[in-house]
Structure 1
Amino acid sequence: MKRFQTSVRKSIWVGTLAVLLLVLIAGCSGNKNAPAANKDAQQNANQEKNQSANTGKPAVGGTFVYGRPASVNSLDLHNQITANNAFAIDKVFEPLVAFDSKGEIVDWLAKSHSISDDGLTYTFVLRDGLKFSNGTDVTADDAVFSLQRHLNVGGPLAIAAKVDTIKAEDSHTLVITLKESYTPFISELSNFSNGILPNNFGGVSEEEFFKKPVGTGPFVVEQWDPAGDLTFAKNPYYWQEGKPYIDKLVYKLIEDDSQAINQLKAGEIDGIESLALQNAEEIKNGADTTVVTNGSWVTEQLFFNTLDQHFSDVHVRRALALAIDREGLTKALTFGYAQTANSLLPTAIPYHSNDTIKVLNFDLNAAKEELAKSAFPDGFTTKLLVASGNSTRAQEAQIIQAAGKEIGINIEIESIELATFRERFFAYDFSAMLNSGQADSPDANSIIAFQTDPEGFSKSYWTHYTNDEVTKLLHEGQKTADGEGRAKVYSDLLQIVAEEVPYIPLYYPDILKGVRSSVNSFVVLPNGSVRFEEVHVKQ
């Protein structure tokens, strides 16, 4: 996703996402969707006892309270991308196909799908007996309306494929035809933004519908304060029999890391959405808490506004890239729960080129020489925008500040609350910022398009970065079938981006969630969301 996570996921936009978006590996921290490995026998025993894949009948009922750093302020799936909204939207609306915890595409509302040999025709057959949360039947006409509305709205996760027609062949069969092949299409259909809603909003206005939406997801909105908490209730018509196991899901707004930690330890909440890497050991080794982890589709990055007088100069960007010891930063801040990033793409996404790409590695002498080539050889003063409340980000900013000082760049850290942070970078009101890019679906295009398309929704992730060759390769990658040819396209594109550094990839963090030990089947998806229909809590 482009969803980027500003608590951090593209991410995050949702993906954003995340505020801006993980999956073939679990990184350094252990197995996916299992508590992270403990360091002594007693903790290992606890881990086995609390493995998410429990045997026996799951406990039914109860309320799960989930601490989150930002409130849900919109449930309009076609106009949202940040993780605070995306990971609420996906509890209400579901797409035809989805991705599992390994990032593999699976049929979801569709019981089957097929793609023609020429890549132009996609046919989906809906599950039998599928109903919306108000008890009405889901038909192919609802899917037509939903996808057509997405095409009309566009939005931050617009359907990029050139769609010719979307038609219902009968009540259960949907056929989408494209004007030209678009390789990422099936992957992008798994985005939360392609969820299915009732035809014509069920007969109410858009405004009324999105205040209390009707979908096929495991939960329905019960109470909602757009500036505070959101309470979901179990959808009695959910298509997965017997699920969700919990009766209610509460998204509780907790903006500060330390407050979330304290409430989890005290049993006031059942889980933490954004567990800072530095707090992982404390929660993992707690008497009544544990950590659930997954690899991720997230890349933590330093972003430059290329409209800024200083960062429009490629030599300035390259100088700062050479001045930052990314490997040292990763080791210092992530406690073994991340991998140093060379490429824009996380290693869990195909075609990442992280091991082969030539990057601007830490070299202070080279950094000073690069700055000398710029229009500001004697250095300058600039500002780094950071969202407050995230201790890891605060430390990142200090390390980058120190690196800049070594080559004569005076970086002032501007730490502001999350909502204002988002407003600022949405308005391109920053010189540099710390954020993360996150894929919304398991295809390289998911991040690459969001961060390299100057004509896209985010104008290259609010950097305004423009390179004609990169744009050409971006479009070529979208049309090239999976295989060696597509790998070469993305390798060339990523190399250019690594040399021109409109953003500096820092590290790929594992997704970490803190939960009470009584929580079972807490399935973390590679985009940072959670399959709460699986969750059950020991009573």
Structure 2
Amino acid sequence: MLKHKASFKKSLGLGLSAILLMVLVAGCSGGNAGNQNKEAQQNTNQSANQNADTNEPAVGGTFVYGRPASVNSFDLHNQITANNAFAIDKVFESLITFDSNGEIIDWLAESHSISDDGLTYTFVLRDGLKFSNGTDVTAEDAVFSIQRHLEVGGPLAIAAKVKEVKAQDDRTLVITLEEPYTPFISELSNFSNGIIPNNFGGASEEEFFKNPVGTGPFVVESWDPAGDVTFVKNENYWQEGKPYIDKLVYKLIQDDSQAINQLKAGEVDAIESLALQNANEIKQGPDTAVLTNGSWVTEQLFFNTLDEHFSDVHVRRALALAIDREGLTNALTFGYAQTANSLLPTAIPYNANDTIKPLNFDVAAAKEELAKSAFPNGFTTKLLVASGNSTRAQEAQIIQAAGKEIGINIEIESIELATFRERFFAYDYSIMLNSGQADSPDANSIIAFQTDPEGFSKSYWTHYTNDEVTKLLHEGQKTLDGEDRAAVYSSLLQILADEAPYIPLYYPDILKGVRSSVEGLVVLPNGSLRFEEVRIHK
């Protein structure tokens, strides 16, 4: 998913991860600080759970969540950016999902099974499931949802070759594949595979997504595509008694400093985009705290390989060698990140972060690499950055200085988020800062999004094309989990490190600023939140 966090996902971002996107934002001298932060968060979560066990939950009230981008669509099959994805997942839910540790768990399905040949997936729905309008959820609704996704495709299209989707009975769904596709079970946990009513419940497609009906904990009460969204509790939610809050408001706050000020003043209960340099200030505040989790996000510098300068692999390698990624991480992330060697975050299997040979900081080698290019005397280019994100602004300045050291003059172009997205979607950039994010806990989630030149994102809008990488991408999708699949991704990730169509900078932790009165908020590794158990103590 993309994250203009975000994401990438495929972001996120997002994701990613995404894609796609959000412009979001770990810098330990060796990773210990990040581990300490995770341990502290685990302890915080444990303490919160203990409190929840001994105290009667505070029921009711309104939770206000500050977000940097508005929700402009609830069409789960046509969206990928985090601003929409993390609203869609409050209304629609999938058969399976993932927990805060990234583990796949049953959700709308009470159980699932996969045949030994990897071709047949069987899901049994929970008994008594209802949509928010009170109608029963049946396997036919799931059939319609999956088939609509197959027909639409979209940014998070189902890549598996699906032979048949059928309802075996009211509660049993069977999906049959033409050939094995290892990431399939993981990808079914994406928000894009949420269950919607058969035939949109009788509404037109347009009307349905203006007033969506799902199984999620919340229902859309009011919605301004250029502003705020107000959700109300789904009275028919399958988790009895939840959510505890009556209303959830997504409040648009596009500037980091404004979001922090509103959090401190108690005008919002939490903020989505917490700049890394502000984390300790919020953590130490008298009425505020920081929730963290390891993420599926990789902060990156992206090259448009259609650009005359960055189509040259030697130019890309030169800039990669000129950037002190470890120094950048340590300077900007305050112990809430780890320097990235690989495209894949360490929370994703097969990341090869410890075994890959990256283009480490070496100015002399960078100058030698540039001398091999078609631009040995340097050139002038522009770095596109979304405004409103202070960490990204500092990243841009560090990269600008690194380019200057080897004769590349980098002008920083900072523009508002919506225009930023439009520009890179149209390949109207030379280099940009963004993040890539997995949407599900499988290596393919990021790799496919960032390496497939024929996919939705055209290698994350870089249009990077390498036949060997494409071959390995498809091989990894068909290879069963284990050593053979690890070897495939190790080879693929090394090619990416060598050819540098994008430069992984660091893996940031997910950071959310919250009021100290908030309990029960769950941070997911894709950057989304679960609000079902949120309580606000006044």
Amino acid paired to 2:156: L
Counterpart in 2 of 1:6?
A: 4
Q: CA RMSD in A?
A: 1.7
* TM-score normalized with structure 2 length: 0.95
TM-aligned CA deviation for residue 30 of structure 1? 1.9
Deviations 1:241-294 (A, max 9, x none): 110010000000000000000000000000000111000000000000000000
Q: Report the equivalent of 1:337.
A: 336
**2:20 maps to what in 1?**
18
CA distance in 2, matches of 1:29, 1:226: 39
Please give the alpha-carbon distance, in whole angstroms, between the structure 2 residues aligned to 1:48 and 1:190.
25
Distance 1:167 1:417 in 2: 45
Q: How far 1:199 moved relative to its partner?
A: 0.2
Which residue of structure 1 aligns with residue 28 of structure 2? none
Residues 359 and 232 of structure 1: is their aligned pair in 2 closer, same or farther, counting only changes over 3 Å?
same
Q: SS of the counterpart of 1:428? A: coil
- Match in the other structure for 1:65: 64
Q: Is the 8 A contact 2:18 2:446 kept in 1?
A: no
Q: Is residue 450–residue 460 contact of structure 1 (8 Å, CA) maintained in 2?
A: yes
Alpha-carbon distance in structure 2 between the residues aligned to 1:171 and 1:49: 41
Q: Which residue of 1 aligns with 2:29?
A: none
* Alpha-carbon offset, residue 298 of structure 1: 0.1
Determine whether 1:88 maps to 2:87: yes
Q: How far, CA to CA, are the matches of 1:359 and 1:395 in structure 2?
A: 23
Q: For the residues of structure 1 that align with 2:119 and 2:391, how far apart are their CA atoms?
A: 45
Equivalent position of 1:233 in the other structure: 232
Give 2:127's aligned residue: 128
Distance 1:51 1:109, change over 3 A: closer
Letter in 2 for 1:364: V
How many residue pairs align between the two structures?
Answer: 526
Q: Matches of 1:152 and 1:535 in 2, distance apart?
A: 37
Which of 13, 26, 38 is the equivalent residue of 1:31?
Answer: 38
Q: In structure 2, what is the equivalent of residue 417 of structure 1?
A: 416
Q: 2:452 aligned with 1:453, yes or no? A: yes
Is this contact kept in 2: 1:134–1:214, CA < 8 A?
Answer: yes
1:164 and 1:232 map into 2 onto residues whose CA distance is 37
Distance 1:8 1:96, change over 3 A: closer
Letter in 2 for 1:16: A
Distance 1:33-1:247 versus aligned 2 partners, 3 A rule: farther
| Contact persistence 1:323–1:407 (CA under 8 A) | yes
Contact 1:35 / 1:292 at 8 angstroms: preserved in 2?
no
Q: Which residue of 2 aligns with 1:353?
A: 352
In 1, Cα distance between the equivalents of 2:43 and 2:207? 43
How far did 1:534 drift? 1.7
Distance 1:312-1:36 versus aligned 2 partners, 3 A rule:
farther
Residue equivalent to 1:208? 207
Matching residue of 1:154: 153
* Helix, strand or coil at the partner of 1:27: helix
C-alpha distance in 2, partners of 1:191/1:400? 34
One-letter identity of the residue aligned with 2:106: D
Question: Secondary structure at the residue paired with 2:227?
Answer: coil
1:427 corresponds in structure 2 to 426
**Separation (CA, whole Å) in 1 of partners of 2:224 and 2:453:** 35
Q: Is 1:104 matched up with 2:103?
A: yes
**Whole-Å separation in 2 of the counterparts to 1:193 and 1:499:** 33
**Residues 1:520 and 2:522 are matched in the alignment:** no
CA distance in structure 1 between the partners assigned to 2:159 and 2:397 by the alignment: 38
- Counterpart amino acid of residue 41 in structure 2: A
Contact 1:234-1:244 at 8 Å conserved across structures: yes
Contact 2:6 2:17 in 1 (8 A): no
Q: 1:176 to 1:35 in 2, by over 3 A?
A: closer
Tell me: CA distance 1:53–1:372, structure 2 relative to 1, closer, same or farther (3 Å).
farther
Q: Is the 8 A contact 2:16 2:435 kept in 1?
A: no
Q: Distance in 1 between matches of 2:38 and 2:365?
A: 39
Seen in structure 2, the aligned counterparts of structure 1 residues 490 and 52 have a Cα distance that, compared at 3 Å, is: farther
Question: After alignment, is 248-257 or 54-63 more displaced?
Answer: 54-63
Q: Which amino acid aligns with 1:317?
A: R
The match for 1:444 is 443
Aligned to 1:313: 312
- Quote how far apart the aligned CAs of 1:494 are: 0.1
Instruction: Note the C-alpha offset of 1:49.
Output: 7.5
SS at the partner of 1:232? strand
Q: Is the 2:320–2:361 contact (alpha carbons within 8 Å) kept by the matching residues of 1? A: yes
Unaligned runs of 5+ in 2: 26-31
Q: Which residue of structure 2 aligns with residue 41 of structure 1?
A: none
TM-superposition CA deviations, 1:46-99 (whole Å, max 9, x none): x99767863322211000000000000000000000000000000000000000
Contact 1:32 / 1:295 at 8 angstroms: preserved in 2? no
Question: How far apart are the structure 2 equivalents of 1:126 and 1:287?
Answer: 45
TM-score, normalised with respect to structure 1: 0.95
Question: How many angstroms does 1:27 deviate by?
Answer: 3.3
* 1:288 alignment counterpart: 287
Q: Deviations over 1:314-352 (max 9, x none)?
A: 000000000000000000000000000000000000000
Map of 1:495 onto structure 2: 494
Contact 1:35 1:291 (C-alpha < 8 Å) held by counterparts:
no
Percent of pairs with identical residues: 81
Q: Distance in 2 between matches of 1:366 and 1:81?
A: 38
Q: Spell out, residue by residue over 1:163-217, the C-alpha distance to the aligned partner (whole angstroms, 9 max, x if none).
A: 0000001100000000000000000000000000000000010100000100000
Residue 3 of structure 2 aligns to a residue whose secondary structure is: coil
Instruction: Map 1:269-288; keep pairs closer than 5 Å.
Output: 269-288=268-287
SS in 2 for 1:30: helix
Note closer, same or farther for the CA distance 1:414–1:377 as it changes in structure 2 (3 Å cut): same
CA–CA distance in 2 between the matches of 1:211 and 1:89? 12
